[in-house]
Amino acid sequence: MPSLINKKIILGISGGIAAYKSAELARLLMQEGATVQVVMSAAAQQFITPVTMQALTGLPVFTSQWDARIDNNMAHIELSRTADAILVAPATADLLAKLSLGLADDLLTTLCLARNCPLLLVPAMNLQMWEHQATQRSVQRLVEDGSTMLGPASGIQACGETGAGRMLEPAEIVEHVCAFFQPKLLQGKRVLVTAGPTFEAIDPVRGMTNRSSGKMGFAIAQAALEAGAQVHLIAGPCALPTPLESGGQIYRTNVTSGQEMYAAVMQSLDCDLFFSVAAVADWTIPNPAKEKIKRHSATVASKKSSAPQIHFAANPDILQSVAQFAKANKTGPNKSPRPYCVGFAAETSNLEQHASEKRQRKGIPLMVGNIGPDTFGDDLNQLLIIDENSKQHLPRAPKLTLARLLIKAVAKKLA
């Protein structure tokens, strides 16, 4: 489902070469369901035309504070009063400096100063301009005044130099905007999330793992961050980047084995919510070989087999351990167990039965089931949320969409 349905976004474009990206940005915002009203500075029109933006958005573009199309001739007032946010992309060094000082000498700056809605700024400029003390003072003042900065990114710039100051790509900006509008259902909460697989060493070059990509756990961490929580993500071996949203950052701990994940979790239980999403190996090899096991090694089981005998031991049960801690750590006016535990069950059959039994066996209030292993590594999933009294099916959708729905469901239970 599109994330910006019924949202009206004023897209401000100031005069930088990155203005060419604003056309794609407008298109992607509209794909998410937003109505996009474009306001351009005079300098912006040197890089991209109002005709282009009007053709893409289907709405007339405003370029002058003296525009008479609005009855009272006050576009800077009328446009912002019906907007859910003003998004300026690109936001040049000149624009940032003007806004930080409260200067308003054209429609775009006047609109930003007269607004009664959030202001999101996407900086785009040369590396030296971005790092200049004057620009950094402007950014700091704007953030202190309540504006939200999206970026900048680092990379090759139009001038040929490389470094910070590059405008975020349109798809990244849209992700940030969608995240910005998520309800802050977990404001002030501390959330702990485990994600990804674990790796149990057999010898220095071999090991036992599983197909978990970490995508579902990372999506939950991002959704919790979007909902206003402080998030600690404990991740097994995976190549996913840490989710990062404006105004918040996820603290990440990387681990390898189930034992390491257990230790990291048990040291981080000063939290309100625990999402046990990681696919932790049930077994480990307690005495991995110190050298690579050779095919002809004396550790071979017999002449009939070239396979060594490997002895397994049970890994600690992280979810059950946290559940026991929570029961002994009841807090709040209702003396509720803390943290509130949400487990995950990846099953190959009889999902409802196995997930329900696992919830009862672990002693936790909420279990989330999904059919594996087909969902491992996929961007889509479908979930079954089970508590003591009810079941809720979440149909197949992107994992971030499901994560946001799960956060809403959990927040209701905490209310």
Q: Which of 117, 159, 178, 341 is catalytic?
A: 159
Enter the DSSP assignment of 312.
Answer: -
Torsion sign across C-alpha atoms 101, 106, 109, 110:
positive
Residues 231 and 221: beta-carbon distance below 8 Å: yes
CA distances in angstroms from 305 to 203, 208, 289, 296, 318, listed in the order given = 19, 20, 19, 10, 36
Residue 166: other Cβ atoms inside 10 A: 23
Which amino acid, one-letter code, is at 186?
L
Q: How far apart are the C-alpha atoms of 261 and 352, rounded to whole Å?
A: 27
CA-nearest of 88, 246, 90, 243 to 157 is 90
Residues 338 and 324: beta-carbon distance below 8 Å: no
Residues 138 and 97: beta-carbon distance below 8 Å: yes
Active site residue 159: yes
DSSP 119-141: EEEEE---HHHHHSHHHHHHHHH
Enter the DSSP assignment of 84.
Answer: S
Enter the DSSP assignment of 45.
Answer: G
N-to-C CA span, the chain = 25
CA 146 remoteness from chain centre: 21
Which residue blocks in 107-266 are alpha helix, DSSP H? 107-113, 127-131, 133-144, 170-180, 215-226, 258-266
| Residues forming the active site | 159
